[in-house]
Structure 1
Amino acid sequence: MCGMSETPPEHTESSENPDFDAMARDIAEVPAVEVIVTVAVNLMSAAAVKLGLTEEGEEHKDLDEARKLVHALAGLLDASATEISSFHAAPLRDGLKSLQLAFREASLVPDGPGQGPGEKYTGAVYG
């Protein structure tokens, strides 16, 4: 049979079909605090890109996307506040505030006090 693989596709490992069992074993070894902090840092990084705060600047700037990411970050930090130590939480809160201020500065029509991304969780953010 021309063009047919002898190995059935469901048994072939590829980047399209990750080994979920191995991923589950790997994640099982990671403490919850590390997972939360990693997700928070990823949200921060993505928000910074969407706010145009990277070297590429305006190329990837999208304030609608940034708003969603900052809001999600604020919700995560609010929900996990009692679960992670202040050692982890303090720098994440500082980063969140910086992103909220950057969003306010980048907006052509600024949100009212308490209406910016994540301010539902943090309260109004002022410079």
Structure 2
Amino acid sequence: MTSETSHEVPAAERLAPQAVRDIADVAAVEVITTAAVHLMSAAAVKCGLADEENAADHLDLDEARKLISALAALVTTAAPDIGNQHARSLRDGLRSLQLAFREASIYPDAPGEGPGEKFTGAVS
């Protein structure tokens, strides 16, 4: 427990206005691509692609499926707004993850049924 008195302002409340100003200065394309990169990174780890000796220990295809599907939805819906330059690299990363998922899966999904394929179409 803290010894805050009722007239002290918690740190989160003091920092909130600065956080709003900081995020206000960031372009939407940067927020979208940052979110996509976080989803890609998490999905890669869950597909067992971490750059470590024990990468296979992190394999969790159920979690990877969710992350890849969320990434596919984000990339597909944001592509017209973020421009081809950004969308192309995100699509490439997404496709690589979809293929890695398919390769890691013991029981491959039918074409068009893999993670995110309802947004991207079948990946092969």
How does the TM-score come out when normalised to structure 1? 0.87
Q: Distance in 2 between matches of 1:104 and 1:9?
A: 57
The structural deviation recorded for 1:46 is 0.5
C-alpha RMSD of matched pairs (Å): 2.0
The structural deviation recorded for 1:8 is 3.7
Give, as a single letter, the amino acid of the residue that structure 2 aligns with 1:53. Answer: L
Pair 1:13–1:116, CA change in 2 (3 A): same
Q: Distance in 2 between matches of 1:6 and 1:18?
A: 14
1:13-40 deviations in Å (ceiling 9; x for gaps): 26xx783222111111100001001000
Q: Distance in 2 between matches of 1:42 and 1:18?
A: 27
1:57-107 deviations in Å (ceiling 9; x for gaps): 122111000000000000001111110111111111000000000000001
Q: Distance in 2 between matches of 1:85 and 1:13?
A: 38
The aligned runs of 1:1-127 (5 Å cut-off) are: 5=3, 7-8=5-6, 11-13=9-11, 19-54=15-50, 55=52, 56-126=54-124
Displaced runs of 4 or more, over 4 A: none
Give the total of aligned pairs.
Answer: 122
Partner of 1:11, secondary structure, is coil
- Structure 1 unaligned runs (5+)? none
